[in-house]
Amino acid sequence: MTTQTDAATLVKTSEDAPHGSVTVTEGVRVEVRPEILASHTDPDERRWVFVYRVKVTNGSDRPVRIVARQWTIIDSHGDRETVEGEGVVGEQPALEPGGSFSYESFCPLGTPWGTMEGAYEMRWLDTDERFYASIGRFYLVAPGELSAR
């Protein structure tokens, strides 16, 4: 297991999901599990589509809401794209202490591997104070490609 820490964030990648990530910021845990979406991938057309499953868990003792998201997507050529928007999958879910919210989305790439990382803008519901919950870097890797780590 690999671990990085700073004052507010813990990032881990586990052996059972070597391309995913688990990040904890202010007690909010973000777990991401990516995989190739073979039915929408066509290497002859230079199109690889990845699905990623996200679970956000409120491990704090305060209610919190996901307000917005920001993703940085980098393909294997180093081309970078930033995606920003309100909430996640059309929602701004509130999470009570111990509560969680799961969703899945997808990312098309023009290369067989790349990375994603980012942050959720969060709001404590008891104070309206905002903070950013980190989404640790995870790897989008087509089968047969070199390991991203």
Helix H or strand E segment including 42? none
Spell out the residues 6+ positions from residue 16 whose beta carbon is closer than 8 angstroms to its own: none
- Domain membership of residue 14 (yes or no) is yes
- Domain membership of residue 11 (yes or no) is yes
- Domain membership of residue 108 (yes or no) is yes
The answer to whether 27 and 59 have CB atoms below 8 angstroms apart is yes
Q: Structure pTM? A: 0.86
Straight-line distance from the first to the last Cα atom of the chain, in angstroms, rounded to the nearest whole number: 12
- Domain membership of residue 58 (yes or no) is yes
The answer to whether 88 and 69 have CB atoms below 8 angstroms apart is yes
pLDDT for 47: 96
Q: What percent of the chain has pLDDT over 70?
A: 86
Q: Tell me how far apart the alpha carbons of residues 137 and 145 are, in angstroms, rounded to a whole number.
A: 18
What 3-state class would DSSP assign to 102? strand
Q: What is the CATH number of the domain that holds 73?
A: 2.60.40.1470
Question: Which segments in the chain show pLDDT lower than 70?
Answer: 1-17, 146-149
**Residue 108 exposure: Cα atoms within 13 Å on the Cβ side:** 9
Number of domains in the chain: 1
pLDDT for 144: 80
pLDDT for 105: 96
- Domain membership of residue 146 (yes or no) is no
pLDDT for 146: 59
- Domain membership of residue 149 (yes or no) is no
Count other C-beta atoms under 10 Å from residue 149's C-beta.
9
Domain that holds residue 32: 2-141
Q: Strand 113-124 and strand 130-141: pairing?
A: antiparallel
pLDDT for 5: 41
pLDDT for 73: 98
pLDDT for 65: 98
The answer to whether 65 and 38 have CB atoms below 8 angstroms apart is no
- Domain membership of residue 147 (yes or no) is no
Using CB atoms within 10 A of its CB, is residue 66 exposed (0-12), middle (13-18) or buried (19+)?
Answer: buried
